Amino acid sequence: MLVQTPQQLNDLHKQYLADEEKFAKKVLVCCGPGCLASGAAKIVDEFKKLLKKKRIKDFSVEALKETGCHGLCEQGPLVVIEPQGIFYTKVKAKHVEKIIETSIRKDEIVTDLLYTDPKTNQTIERYADISFYSHQHRIALRHLGKISQYDIRDYIAQGGYQALAKALTKMKPDDIIDEVTKSGLRGRGGAGFPAGRKWATCRRAEDQPHYVICNGDEGDPGAFMDRAIMEGNPHSVLEGMIICARAVGSEDGYIYVREEYPLAVQNLQLAIDQATEYGFLGENILGTDLSFDIKVSRGGGAFVCGESSALMKSVAGEVGEPRAKYVRSVLKGLFDKPTVLNNVESFANVPVIINEGGEKFASLGTPKSTGTKAFSLVGKVRNTGLIEVPMGTTLREIIYDIGGGIQNDRPFKAVQTGGPSGGCLPESKLDLPVDFDTLTEAGSMMGSGGMIVVDDRTCVVDLAKYFLGFLVDESCGKCTPCREGLYQLHRLAVKISEGEAAEEDLKKMEKLSEMVIIGSLCGLGKSGPNPFLSTIQYFRDEYLTHIRDKRCPAGVCRALIRYDVIAEKCDGCLACIEACAVHAITGKKGEVHVIDQDKCDKCGACYAVCTRDAIEVT
């Protein structure tokens, strides 16, 4: 099925659209990362089994689509019935038969599976009416949840590869770069470098050959936007890369996917095979002189390989040690040749920019941070999931209007953004607009889009200690400030969390942080102290309480807390005794249990399993 001309593509587009409209309805089962972890695969199997047996007018198993992440992961597994947009939540395999008989054979609703608005307590039938969705503007995530992850025909039916056709047949390479520059697209991986400028520099580079690499090493814990795009709409990434290849003059592309994302590797490879079959990759693409191939390069499991020079070493089969960036990788990158490296989300935006024009993209967001940004909103919010909003949306809107506020109505404490390179912002900063520059000025960073909300039961000392420990683990070990400096910062954070620190230790950490920032070779080290610095800026009192009072207000730091059974509430159900790994709890069935403080190691398992609210932490 070789597509040689734009006209042919257009015909296919119309044909595939018509194929879909054969069916009166569509069933979309979300198979994004969250829903998969909640059992979506079983739901798909059940649908397939039943639909093959049943006979329904204007419907067949072909109208079932396994889609990418629909967004509202907290309510998953999700099933959507189109064209009405009926939204079923927390679906289990046992519900499938009822859904088929009620909403597919007939036009009725299974009310038990609807979403309930926590503010009004009313159920909502269509996802478009849920505030989580109505506040969003999806560009990079545009087809997620709507098209099959596995079928290029869905992508073409939605207008896929039309941007490529336009770029190849109606535009010159410089026109493409102009459009991307006009759009103001800045690197979505977090660094925010203007994509148009990067592409232009590569294009002008005399050394050959040129390479195009997509950075799919989404290492920030808490972020899964790129994973969702790579799995749910891989063709959007491919299309963006091929357009880039035309712009900068490249024949070889790589998508570097981290080792922890095997499904993304599979879906991308499937997409590449299909795109090659259709002639969107390979030689003489769409009948032009552009030849471009994309290979999937798997990471080996190293957070540092998200850094561009380390990534390129990993693609070359070496250890992922970054090098000093005095010669930029756009001039000397992969194999020391000019290379454009852009993030998954950056490439996913490109087809839209080409189709609708750079100015339209730039009309969204803010003047310096144009367009939209995808975020993974996770942690202690009610509506955890994948969202996309125009740049400039405030933290408050995101966390409260879209996120639905804090779980269990606990008080908001902080929002952590930017992963291990970022920081925590407190309630007083909730009205800041989210973009590349504002959060950085406040001491944090927007980063790749991970947004973790924490409540009063999260200890910021523990959080800083966690991030420092993470970075010590992931440091490549080449340069002294990062390898030794972050190690010592972590040791000091441990000291604070164990109540063994003095106030000079805080000063020591602040001074050491400054040296690590100016001395480190790469971004991992340079931004490593940020989680500590931002928490000490806004939550200094919490650190001082650990130091002076040897107390952990959030009830987290093990050395400073104790667990006790509340005798009045305990009914002797034995759950905590079973959970206790060090046998520190005694008591017979039906009798009040007692925790032996000498044996207790404060792991918190008893607290977690108690359903009677009978254990307290102080």
Partner 1 sequence: MSKMVHITINGKVVSASEGEMLLAVIRREGIEIPALCHHEAVEPLGACRLCTVEITKEEWDGWSNFVTSCLYPVENDLIVSTHSPKVVQLRRTLVDLQLARCPNSPEIRQLAEEYGITKTSYEEIPDGDNCILCGLCTRICDQMGFAAISTIGRGHGKKVAPPLDEAPPDCVGCLSCALNCPTNVIEFTDAGNIRTIWDKQFELISCAKCGKKTITKEFAKALSESREIPMSYFEICDECHRKELVQTMGRIALWSREVVS
Partner 2 sequence: MTPDLSKLPKIIDRYPKTPQSLIAVLQDIQKEYHYLPSETLKETAKALDVPLSKVFSVSTFYNAFSLYPRGEKVIRICVGTTCHIRGAKVIQQQLEDRLKIKAGQTTPDLKYTLEVVNCVGACAMAPVVIVNDKYYGSVKVSDSKKLMRRG
User: Where do contacts with partner 2 occur on this chain (CB under 8 A)?
Assistant: 33-34, 36-38, 73-74, 76, 218-224, 227, 259-262, 297-303, 314-320, 376, 378-380, 384-386, 416, 419, 450, 452, 454, 458, 463, 466-467, 470, 473-474, 476, 575, 579, 581-582, 603-605, 608-609
Compute the least distance from the CB of residue 193 to partner 2, in Å: 24
Alpha-carbon span 75 to 70, nearest angstrom: 10
Residue number with CB closer to partner 1 (358 or 420): 420
Binding partner of residue 484 among partner 2, partner 1, none, CB under 5 to 8 Å per kind?
A: partner 1
Query: What are 534's two structure tokens?
Result: 């931002």
Compute the least distance from the CB of residue 435 to partner 1, in Å: 22
Binding partner of residue 261 among partner 2, partner 1, none, CB under 5 to 8 Å per kind?
A: partner 2
Binding partner of residue 519 among partner 2, partner 1, none, CB under 5 to 8 Å per kind?
A: partner 1
Residue number with CB closer to partner 2 (370 or 384): 384
310 binding partner 1? (CB under 8 A): no
323 binding partner 1? (CB under 8 A): yes
Residue number with CB closer to partner 2 (17 or 573): 573
Query: What are 251's two structure tokens?
Result: 């024949």
Alpha-carbon span 222 to 199, nearest angstrom: 29
Compute the least distance from the CB of residue 519 to partner 1, in Å: 5
Binding partner of residue 349 among partner 2, partner 1, none, CB under 5 to 8 Å per kind?
A: none
Question: Which of 62-70, 358-366, 431-439, 467-475 is the region at the interface with partner 1 (rule: CB under 8 A)?
Answer: 467-475
Binding partner of residue 314 among partner 1, partner 2, none, CB under 5 to 8 Å per kind?
A: partner 2
Compute the least distance from the CB of residue 249 to partner 2, in Å: 22
Compute the least distance from the CB of residue 10 to partner 2, in Å: 36
Which residues, other chains included, contact 329 with Cβ-Cβ below 8 Å and sequence gap of 6+? 308, 309, 312, 339, 341
DSSP 434-477: PSTTHHHHTT---TTSEEEEEETTS-HHHHHHHHHHHHHHH---
484 binding partner 1? (CB under 8 A): yes
317 binding partner 1? (CB under 8 A): no
Residue number with CB closer to partner 1 (40 or 304): 304
Compute the least distance from the CB of residue 309 to partner 1, in Å: 12
According to DSSP H, which parts of 520-590 are helical? 523-527, 530-538, 540-544, 575-579
Q: Which residues of 14-31 are buried (b: 16+ CB within 10 A; e: fewer)?
A: eebeeebeebebbbbbbb
Alpha-carbon span 276 to 293, nearest angstrom: 8
Alpha-carbon span 147 to 29, nearest angstrom: 10
Among 111, 289, 317, 324, binds partner 1 (CB under 8 A): 324
369 binding partner 1? (CB under 8 A): no
Compute the least distance from the CB of residue 466 to partner 2, in Å: 6
Which residues, other chains included, contact 377 with Cβ-Cβ below 8 Å and sequence gap of 6+? 383, 384, 385, 386, 387, 398, 399, 402, 403, 451, 453
Question: Which of 74-82, 379-387, 393-401, 519-527 is the region at the interface with partner 1 (rule: CB under 8 A)?
Answer: 519-527
CB 277 within 8 A of CB 153: no
Residue number with CB closer to partner 2 (219 or 365): 219
Cβ count near 608 (within 10 Å): 11
474 binding partner 1? (CB under 8 A): yes
Binding partner of residue 386 among partner 2, partner 1, none, CB under 5 to 8 Å per kind?
A: partner 2
Query: What are 259's two structure tokens?
Result: 């080792």
343 binding partner 1? (CB under 8 A): no
How many residues appear in the chain? 618
Binding partner of residue 485 among partner 1, partner 2, none, CB under 5 to 8 Å per kind?
A: partner 1
Q: Strand, coil or helix: what is 483?
A: helix
Cα-trace Rg, the chain? 26
Among 192, 481, 528, 553, binds partner 1 (CB under 8 A): 481
Query: What are 485's two structure tokens?
Result: 């400096």
Helix pair angle (503-519, 487-497), 10° resolution: 160
CB 137 within 8 A of CB 126: no
Which residues, other chains included, contact 449 with Cβ-Cβ below 8 Å and sequence gap of 6+? 188, 190, 223, 225, 345, 373, 374, 375, 376
Residue number with CB closer to partner 2 (358 or 379): 379
* Sign of the Cα pseudo-torsion (589, 591, 596, 602, in order): positive
Binding partner of residue 521 among partner 2, partner 1, none, CB under 5 to 8 Å per kind?
A: partner 1
Binding site for partner 1 (CB under 8 A): 302, 304, 319, 323-324, 326, 472-481, 483-485, 487-488, 491, 508, 511-512, 515, 518-521
